[in-house]
Amino acid sequence: MTHDHSVGTYPRFMPAERPAIPVELRRRLLVEAGHRCAIPTCRQTPVEFEHIEEWAKVQEHSFDNMIVLCPTCHARKGDRPGQIDRKSLRQYKANLATVNGRYGDLEQRLIWLYANALRRYPDDIGTMFNLPLGSAIQVLFLIQDGLLKQADPAPNEAYLWVHFTEAGRDFVERWSSALPLDEVTFAED
Ligand SMILES: [Zn+2]
């Protein structure tokens, strides 16, 4: 064993031990994002637990400062152009709570499909989705909120045909581009 004090054999400060993320906090974060990547147009699995403000700075695991991302989106996190910055992550998180708190699984899938359609065809409001007959109840809140409509006339009677309204397009655009959903007013139920 050498005793070369000039290179600092013993660090003056021990690095802080990073504790494991508590199970209950992990569960809350997964539920918040529906067990998928929190980036609206991604939604991949598996996911990792991320600190919005870096762990090195905050040194704690807190719900408000954490979000789940897939490894690809995690790699895009940063402040350079084209990267996903902290402000965007906070907004994605706020919008997740709104969307996941109100809309069911089929509604969220429609929102996701439409968000991806809008990335390719930004002005589209005509995209029709064919749902199994009898699934109207599963998209009830989107319809009640004026974001989705049944197609009239429908191309055929074999399916329930729906499309997003102009308000629906605005909603989905804001959700997927991390703009605040604050001004969206939901119908009373
Ligand atoms: Zn992702």
Please write down the HEC assignment for all residues of the chain.
CCCCHHHCCCCCCCCCCCCCCCHHHHHHHHHHCCCCCCCCCCCCCCCEEEECCCHHHHCCCCHHHEEEECHHHHHCECCCCCCECHHHHHHHHHHHHHHHHHCCHHHHHHHHHHHHHHHHCCCCCCCEEEECCCCHHHHHHHHHCCCEEECCCCCCCCCEEEEECHHHHHHHHHHHCCCCCCCCCCCCC
- 30 shares a domain with 96: yes
Report pLDDT for 17: 80
Are 128 and 153 in contact by the 8 Å Cβ rule? The answer is: no
Ligand 1 centroid – CA 175 distance (Å): 15
Mark which of 102, 125, 160 sits at the end of a domain: 102
Domain count, the chain: 2
Ligand 1 centroid – CA 171 distance (Å): 20
Are 68 and 76 in contact by the 8 Å Cβ rule? The answer is: no
pLDDT digits 0-9 by tens, 126-164: 789 999 999 999 999 999 999 999 999 999 999 999 999
- 71 shares a domain with 108: no
- 143 shares a domain with 124: yes
pLDDT digits 0-9 by tens, 58-97: 999 999 999 999 999 999 999 898 899 999 999 999 999 8
pTM, two decimals, is: 0.79
Ligand 1 centroid – CA 71 distance (Å): 7
Answer whether residue 16 is part of any domain.
no
Pairing of strands 128-131, 160-164: antiparallel
Ligand 1 centroid – CA 99 distance (Å): 17
Ligand 1 centroid – CA 158 distance (Å): 35
Cα 123 to Cα 134: distance, rounded to the nearest angstrom: 30
Mark which of 102, 135, 163 sits at the end of a domain: 102
Answer whether residue 74 is part of any domain.
yes
The domain of 73 spans 21-102
Ligand 1 centroid – CA 76 distance (Å): 9
Mark which of 71, 102, 133 sits at the end of a domain: 102
Ligand 1 centroid – CA 48 distance (Å): 10
Ligand 1 centroid – CA 47 distance (Å): 8
φ and ψ of 131, to 5 deg = -110, 155
Cα→Cα distances 164→65, 68, 88, Å: 33, 28, 25
Cα 163 to Cα 148: distance, rounded to the nearest angstrom: 6
Answer whether residue 135 is part of any domain.
yes
Are 32 and 90 in contact by the 8 Å Cβ rule? The answer is: no
pLDDT digits 0-9 by tens, 162-183: 999 999 999 999 999 888 887 5
- 142 shares a domain with 181: yes
- 83 shares a domain with 43: yes
- 109 shares a domain with 97: no
Ligand 1 centroid – CA 163 distance (Å): 26
Ligand 1 centroid – CA 45 distance (Å): 8
- 132 shares a domain with 95: no
- 114 shares a domain with 84: no
Answer whether residue 13 is part of any domain.
no
- 70 shares a domain with 45: yes
Cα 177 to Cα 4: distance, rounded to the nearest angstrom: 55
Ligand 1 centroid – CA 81 distance (Å): 18
Ligand 1 centroid – CA 46 distance (Å): 9
- 110 shares a domain with 189: yes
Are 179 and 91 in contact by the 8 Å Cβ rule? The answer is: yes
Ligand 1 centroid – CA 67 distance (Å): 11
Q: What rounded mean pLDDT belongs to the chain?
A: 88
